[in-house]
Structure 1
Amino acid sequence: MNDAKLRYCEHLRRFSDQLIHLQAPIKILDAIKWPRELEQQFFDAGARQLPQVDKAFYDNLPLPFDSLATQKALKSLKQDIQKTLGKDDALGKLLVANVDQYRLVIDMLGHRGTPQFGKLSKALYGSASNKLHGDRHTLRQLGDRLSYIFSLPAAAHMNKQHPKEIDAASAVEHLGSRLGRYFHSDEMRVRLSDGIVSDAAVGGDTVKINSKAMFSKADLNVYEVHEGWVHVGTTLNGRAQPHATWLSVGSPRVAAAQEGLAVLLEMLTLSSTPGRARRISDRVAAVDMAENGADFIEVYRYFRDQNLSKKDSYRVTQRVFRGGMVAGGSCFTKDISYVRGYVENVNFIRSAIASGIPELIPMLFLGKLAIEDIPTLYLAYREGILAGPRYLPPMFDDYSGLYAWFGFATGLGNINLKGVQRHFQRQFRIIPNVEPMFPSVEDTEFDAPAD
Structure 2
Amino acid sequence: MDDPATLDRIADLDRRLVAAVRGIKLLTAVSWPATTQQEFLAAHRRGNAALPVVSYPKLEFSAVREELDAIDAAADPQHPLGDYLHRTTESYRIATWLLESLGTAGVVEPSIRLFGKPGDRLAGGDLSNLDAARHFIELANELDRELVSEDQAYVLSAEVLQQELGEQIDRFFVHHKVRVEIDPNLIAKAAAGPTRIRLRSATAFTEYDRHQLLEHEAFVHSLTALNGREQPNLKSLALNSPRTTATQEGLATFAEQITGTIDIERMKRISLRIVAIDNALQGADFLDVFRFFLDAGQSDTDSFTSTMRVFRGVPLTGGCAFTKDTVYLHGLMGVHTFFRWALKNRRLKLCHLLFAGKMNLHDVFALEPYFDSGFLAAPLYLPPWVARANGLAGMLAFSLFANRIRLDRVEEEDLVLGL
State the TM bucket, normalised to the shorter chain. Answer: over 0.9
Deviations 1:25-46 (A, max 9, x none): 2111211111222223333333
How big is the shift at 1:156?
7.4
Q: Distance in 2 between matches of 1:206 and 1:12?
A: 30
**Whole-angstrom CA distance in 2 between matches of 1:76 and 1:229:** 35
Letter in 1 for 2:17: L
TM-superposed deviation, 1:244: 1.5
Amino acid aligned to 2:9? H
Provide the rounded CA distance (Å) in 1 between the counterparts of 2:314 and 2:177: 37
Paired position in structure 2 for 1:39: 37
**Superposed displacement of residue 281, structure 1:** 1.8
Superposed CA deviations along residues 395-445 of structure 1, whole A, max 9, x for unmatched, are 322423222211211212122313435337999xxxxxxxxxxxxxxxxxx
Instruction: State the partner residue of 1:257.
Output: 247
> Which of 9, 32, 46 is the matching residue for 1:11?
9
**CA–CA separation in structure 2 for the residues paired with 1:160 and 1:321:** 34
1:399-418 pair list within 5 angstroms = 399-418=389-408
Q: Is the 8 A contact 1:156 1:274 kept in 2?
A: no
For the 8 Å contact 2:43–2:50, the answer to whether it is kept is no
Q: CA deviation at 1:216?
A: 2.2
* Aligned match of 2:72: 78
Indicate the residue corresponding to 2:217 in structure 1: 227
Query: Aligned equivalents of 1:110 and 1:403: distance in 2?
Result: 46
Q: Distance in 2 between matches of 1:233 and 1:178?
A: 13
Contact 1:248–1:367, Cα closer than 8 Å, also in 2? yes
Structure 1 alignment gaps of length 5 or more: 428-451
CA distance in 1, matches of 2:27, 2:151: 32
8 Å Cα contact 2:281-2:318 kept in structure 1: yes
For 1:156 and 1:117, how far apart are their aligned partners in 2?
42
The answer to whether the 8 A contact 1:156-1:275 is kept is no
* Mapped pair 1:186 → 2:176: yes
Equivalent position amino acid for 2:105 in 1: P
Report if the CA contact (8 A) 1:159-1:274 is conserved: no
Within-5 A mapping of 1:186-335: 186-335=176-325
List per-residue Cα deviations over 1:177-216 (Å, max 9, x = no partner).
Answer: 1111111122222222233211110123211122332322
CA–CA distance in 2 between the matches of 1:426 and 1:40?
55
The equivalent of 1:175 in structure 2 is 165
Could you tell me which of 130, 134, 141 is aligned with 2:131? 141
Question: Given residue 378 of structure 1, which amino acid in structure 2 is its aligned partner?
Answer: E
Root-mean-square deviation over aligned CA pairs: 2.2
The aligned counterpart of 2:51 is 51
State the distance in 2 between where 1:45 and 1:154 align: 30
Identity of aligned residues (%): 29
Conservation of the 8 A alpha-carbon contact between 1:155 and 1:274? no
CA distance in 2, matches of 1:51, 1:156: 37
Structure 2, unaligned runs of 5 or more:
none
Q: CA deviation at 1:176?
A: 1.2
Distance 1:405 1:425, change over 3 A: closer
Deviations 1:11-56 (A, max 9, x none): 23322222222222211121111122222333333376442336xx
- Of stretches 33-42 and 318-327 in structure 1, the one that deviates more from structure 2 is 33-42
Q: For structure 1, which segment, 115-124 or 401-410, has the greater mean C-alpha deviation from structure 2 after superposition?
A: 401-410
1:26 partnered with 2:20: no
Instruction: Give secondary structure in 2 for the equivalent of 1:232.
Output: helix
Distance 2:369 2:247 in 1: 19
The answer for the alignment partner of 1:438 in structure 2 is: none
Residue aligned with 2:141, SS: coil
